[in-house]
Structure 1
Amino acid sequence: MRRRSLLLAVPAGLLTLAGCGEESSDKDKVGASVSPEASPDASPKVVDGPLPAITGGTKFGEKPVVAKGSGKPSTDLAVKTVIAGSGATIAEGDWLRAHYLGQIWNTAEVFDNSYDRKKPLVIQLAQGKIIDGWRIGLAGKKVGSRVEMAVPPSLGYGEQGQGGIKGTDTMVFVIDVQETFNGKSSAKGKEVPQDDVALPKVGTNTDGKAPEITVPKAAAPKKLVSQYVLEGDGEVVQATDTLLLQYKGVLWDGGKEFDSSYSRGQLADFPLQQLIKGWQEGLAGKKVGSRVMLVVPPDKGYGDQASGEIPANSTLVFTLDILAKM
């Protein structure tokens, strides 16, 4: 899956000089190389079939076995909710975490599946990030649903195809939607006491609003501080991970906010290795689903260089909700 340069989405300052290129993931294909042209029809027709039968792995979360397509596929996008979930409704622009299997209509050749990797895909349902078939076909579905779709070339990779997928191939997908995230998402972990009066206090609200950060009137710590505010129960973050985050940053001196994903109403996805050392060291080892408070001294932040609204030699305080690993 090819990702566009993260410089396009990163607030001023948070990337180090290392973050100037593109990143490629291993095998994910649904967001790999979307058609260079937007769909000519702003509202493509969605039909309920035909779709091949799912003959095995019929439970949500199980790797499905899908029959070969019978006859000619529709030239429209065919979508069916196989298992109806009861979670949040997915909207275009949301991020989602999902397991999926993809195969070719007329051969039943599986070209990709996340079940064998044991790693669901986390991706945004936005034009240019994901093929149009997913972007259109999953909008309006609910978390916990299994969705089957047949995606014609015009809503997939177009006439040029992608990898072993020819420009004439209709792709069949089975998608198990596990979770969705948007600009109103929050961590939902267990509250952890904040007892040290010499450290900032961070709000524990989980309503998607920016938590308050109260900075004490005291000298800033000289070393990096990384503590749970809400402790989740997800995977442990590795130094090489890319994370989906909500965050806010304020200056220790005066408590002025200098950056926030909440104020933009958009989540941030960052490769941890491309961020300031305070984030790299402070988030590695923490669990997905957590809210973390970081106090970043200048030597782990921007040092003696000013950056945007951050003066030189500033100690920074962050609250970060780790929503997912990419």
Structure 2
Amino acid sequence: MRLRPFAALSAVAVTALLLTGCGSSDTAAPTPTGSAAADLCDAAAKPGEASDSVKVDGAVGSPSTATFSTPLEPKELQVTVLDEGDGPAVKAGEFVSYAMTAYSAEDGKELATIGYEPGQFLPSQLSPDTVLGQVFGCGHVGKRVVAAFPASDTAQAEVYVLDLLGTVPTAAWGEPQAAPAGFPKVELAENGSPKITIPEGEEPPTQTEVATIKKGDGYTVQKGDYALIQYTGVRWSNGETFDSTWDKGSPIAYPTTNYVQGFQKALEGQTVGSQVLVVIPPAEGYGEGKINEADLKGETIVFVVDILGAQTPAAAPAQ
């Protein structure tokens, strides 16, 4: 799934800033290795006359002001590093948070500033095969670059000042909270993958029940937001797992309104960094009916959901 954080900008912006890997995938995320790190360094675009000519004011981590002689007419992507950053080194396969200010290369006017406030960008996965990987390459958190993008058949040339703000874990990092009595038990593997145990002999609830078992301190997810999540779902009737992003190898990101009503309740109002345990009866799941192995009709379902990031509809892609 390719996410477009700001549909108002051009197709160049779409191509430039977004990765595959934020959405659903049946393939595992790249494993950070020495070779992958080297590939990420090799993927970094080179500076050129256009990117070198851009003067930038403002501290890393806050919106920039860029000035340059217009028009700039780069023939290929050019990237000039303004600050290498002094935070942790980033690796291929990691999810990162970033922010940017975009300018028209034709007249120097600012087009947008986005990512410096919570809820404006989803975390994205660094890869040598994506343009975001080419923009940031390898390096450290705190890196700032100028990227000059060439014009295409459908878009003008554009200039971006981008900041690499941090890395984002693929498991919830909030403060642990005790689940209420009667809820399923959750045990976490070293990588954060949950094992869910249904309480023996307990009848399932007749209404959706939600418990926050890790409380994050990030942005609060609103109705319709895109949420980047990990989850595992099991059947109440036998405790068997029927779906898990942990098994598929990568988080997914969709609007909260894409899910069944009970799952939606588990996301909306929660903070980024939280882990949520939700028990969903058929009425707010997949409907009433006879429980069978073919589908989830009639089944009370249980999820553990890790909320890794969120993006408001205003910044979300047109689908």
Which aligned pairs between 1:1-326 and structure 2 lie closer than 5 A? 27=8, 33-34=14-15, 46-50=45-49, 51-57=52-58, 59-69=59-69, 74-83=74-83, 84-91=85-92, 95-114=95-114, 120-122=120-122, 124=124, 133-153=131-151, 158-161=152-155, 165=156, 169=157, 171-181=158-168, 185-196=170-181, 198-204=182-188, 207-217=190-200, 218-304=202-288, 309-326=294-311
> Would you say the 8 A contact 1:247–1:262 is kept in 2?
yes
> Would you say the 8 A contact 2:193–2:246 is kept in 1?
yes
Deviation digits for residues 195-233 of structure 1 (CA, Å, limit 9, x no counterpart)? 51x21012355x534111111112111111111111100
Matches of 1:28 and 1:88 in 2, distance apart? 30
Shift of 1:27: 3.7
> Would you say the 8 A contact 2:96–2:123 is kept in 1?
yes
Equivalent AA in structure 1 for residue 143 of structure 2: S
> Would you say the 8 A contact 1:44–1:76 is kept in 2?
no
The percentage of counterpart residues that share the same residue type is 25
Matches of 2:163 and 2:60 in 1, distance apart? 6
Higher helix share: 2
Deviation digits for residues 92-111 of structure 1 (CA, Å, limit 9, x no counterpart)? x6544321011133532222
Equivalent AA in structure 2 for residue 137 of structure 1: V
Shift of 1:90: 4.6
> Would you say the 8 A contact 1:146–1:177 is kept in 2?
yes
> Would you say the 8 A contact 2:5–2:121 is kept in 1?
no
Deviation digits for residues 97-153 of structure 1 (CA, Å, limit 9, x no counterpart)? 3210111335322222216877542264589xxx96434222424333222222223
Normalising by the residue count of structure 2, what TM-score does the alignment of the two structures yield? 0.75
Q: Which has the higher contact order (CA 8 A, sep 6+)?
A: 2
Deviation digits for residues 143-170 of structure 1 (CA, Å, limit 9, x no counterpart)? 33222222223xxxx2221xxx2xxx2x
> Would you say the 8 A contact 1:288–1:322 is kept in 2?
yes
Greater mean alpha carbon deviation, residues 225-234 or residues 184-193: 184-193
> Would you say the 8 A contact 1:88–1:142 is kept in 2?
yes
Matches of 1:125 and 1:230 in 2, distance apart? 23
Matches of 2:6 and 2:105 in 1, distance apart? 25
> Would you say the 8 A contact 2:99–2:116 is kept in 1?
no
Matches of 1:87 and 1:45 in 2, distance apart? 18
Gaps of at least 5 residues in structure 2 are 17-41, 312-319
Gaps of at least 5 residues in structure 1 are 7-22, 36-42
Shift of 1:28: 5.6
Normalising by the residue count of structure 1, what TM-score does the alignment of the two structures yield? 0.74
Matches of 2:160 and 2:264 in 1, distance apart? 36
Distance 1:142 1:307, change over 3 A: farther
Shift of 1:262: 0.7
Greater mean alpha carbon deviation, residues 250-259 or residues 73-82: 73-82
Matches of 1:270 and 1:46 in 2, distance apart? 30
Matches of 1:104 and 1:213 in 2, distance apart? 51
> Would you say the 8 A contact 1:226–1:283 is kept in 2?
no
Partner of 2:21: none
> Would you say the 8 A contact 1:133–1:151 is kept in 2?
no
Deviation digits for residues 30-79 of structure 1 (CA, Å, limit 9, x no counterpart)? 786549xxxxxxx988323332343421x122211111147965534322
Matches of 1:53 and 1:283 in 2, distance apart? 42
> Would you say the 8 A contact 1:231–1:291 is kept in 2?
yes
